[in-house]
């Protein structure tokens, strides 16, 4: 496999903050809104430089969603930021009515997504957000894998016309994709080509999948590693091509077993190319307090579990 050079460690939410700033610098229509989580959403730079385009909404997420919808109709490009749970579960009806059904150009900046939110615990950790958001017609769902990809995805989200759900995380994670990359919404990215098994991964699990790839390579197993950064619309063509090639699939995500990338790909393959599949996800469980690294391990969201899943999938071929 290729060599992946880690150029640093940074939280993906910083990628969002820097991407937002870039987007805002280049387009005066970009507006940032938050529900009392300015520093957490890394919006400080944007707010400091473009105060007339920063809207503090206070701890009132439902109103923030509706206000963003109305604002977007006047020609602005609003990014609304809060913790993932509070811009999905908490305001699901509002997102559905005002953004999805209203077809408004609102970008949901969803921070601290998944179990890696850490110590705050399960009231704050959402592992169901992808399931909720991808069920909405017309909602684009993006889960980038590192700082650089998140920054690029944020810029792409600003340019895209339509509702976007952009999910990123709290902890510092390795940076291993190119800086100044251009993010293409809807395109799967093949990191490694392989022949024995395909590992589809998204978000924080992409790096883990690459570590698993190395472990498997040492065992003589050729794994194909594909980054599904855009969960919806899914790059079905890439998914099918790979599944038909390797005939064994693993899907890895920092999400519940219900309704995330795993079930999405399972649905596609069940219809078009039934393939033995194994799944790496957080199961049917709530999160809990812990450090991000501890929690990833405890919930089976690491390279070791991905490699084991790959061996199992191959054994079922």
Partner 1 sequence: MSNVQELTRTASQIRRDIVRMVCEAGSGHPGGSLSSTDVMTALYFHVMKHDPATWTRSGKDADVFVLSAGHLAPVYYATLARAGYFPVAELGTLRKFGTRLQGHPCVETGLPGVFQPSGSLGQGLSAAIGFALGKKMDGEKNYVFSLLGDGESEEGQIWEAAIFAAHHKLDNLIAFTDWNGQQIDGAVENVGGLGDLADKWSAFGWNVIVVDDGHDFEKILAAFEIAKASVGKPSMILLKTEMGHGVDFMAGTHKWHGKAPSAEQRDAALAQLEETLGDY
Q: Applying CB under 8 A, which residues contact partner 1?
A: 31, 52-53, 55, 57-58, 60, 62-76, 78, 93-94, 97-98, 101-104
3-state secondary structure 172-210: EEEECCCCCCCCCCCCCEEEECCCCEEEEECCCHHHHHH
3-state secondary structure of 157: helix
Number of other residues whose CB lies within 10 A of the CB of residue 29: 15
Q: What gap in Å lies between CA 263 and CA 232, rounded to an integer?
A: 13
Rounded to whole angstroms, what are the CA distances from 204 to 135, 172, 272?
Answer: 22, 10, 28
Reported as type and span, the H/E element at residue 8 is strand 8-11
- The answer to whether residues 54 and 30 touch, using CB atoms and an 8 Å cutoff, is no
Rounded to whole angstroms, what are the CA distances from 237 to 144, 210, 231?
Answer: 20, 22, 13
**61 is annotated as an active-site residue:** yes
Closest CA to 96 of 122, 69, 121, 75: 69
Closest CA to 46 of 85, 67, 77: 77
Active-site residue among 44, 56, 61, 308? 61
In this complex, which beta carbon is closest to partner 1, that of residue 98 or of residue 302?
Answer: 98
In this complex, which beta carbon is closest to partner 1, that of residue 26 or of residue 63?
Answer: 63
In this complex, which beta carbon is closest to partner 1, that of residue 25 or of residue 317?
Answer: 25
Closest CA to 108 of 160, 148, 51: 160
Q: Which residues are catalytic?
A: 61
């Amino acid at each position: 496999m290729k060599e992946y050079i880690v150029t640093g460690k940074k939280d993906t939410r910083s990628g969002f903050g820097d991407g937002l700033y870039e987007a805002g610098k280049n387009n005066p229509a970009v507006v940032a809104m938050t529900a009392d989580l300015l520093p957490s959403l890394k919006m400080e730079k944007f707010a400091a430089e473009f105060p007339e385009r920063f809207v503090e909404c206070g701890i009132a997420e439902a109103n923030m969603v509706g206000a963003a919808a109305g604002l977007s109709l006047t020609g602005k490009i609003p990014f609304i930021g809060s913790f993932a749970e509070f811009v999905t579960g908490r305001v699901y009806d509002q997102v559905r009515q005002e953004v999805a059904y209203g077809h408004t150009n609102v970008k949901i900046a969803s921070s601290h997504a998944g179990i890696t939110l850490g110590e705050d615990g399960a009231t704050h950790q959402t592992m169901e957000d992808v399931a909720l958001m991808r069920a909405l017609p017309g909602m684009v769902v993006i889960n980038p894998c590192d700082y650089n990809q998140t920054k690029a995805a944020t810029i792409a989200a600003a340019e895209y016309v339509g509702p976007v759900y952009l999910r990123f995380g709290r902890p510092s994670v390795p940076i291993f994709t190119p800086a100044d990359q251009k993010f293409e919404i809807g395109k799967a990215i093949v990191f490694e080509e392989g022949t024995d098994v395909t590992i589809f991964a998204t978000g924080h699990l992409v790096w883990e999948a690459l570590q698993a790839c190395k472990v498997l390579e040492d065992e003589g197993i050729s794994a194909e590693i594909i980054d599904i950064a855009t969960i919806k619309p899914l790059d079905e063509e890439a998914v099918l091509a790979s599944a038909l090639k390797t005939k064994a699939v693993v899907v890895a995500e920092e999400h519940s077993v219900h309704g995330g990338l795993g079930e999405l790909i399972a649905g596609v393959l069940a219809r078009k190319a039934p393939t033995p599949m194994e799944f790496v996800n957080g199961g049917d469980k709530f999160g809990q307090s812990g450090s991000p690294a501890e929690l990833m391990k405890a919930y089976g969201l690491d390279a070791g579990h991905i490699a084991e899943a790959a061996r199992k999938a191959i054994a079922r071929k």
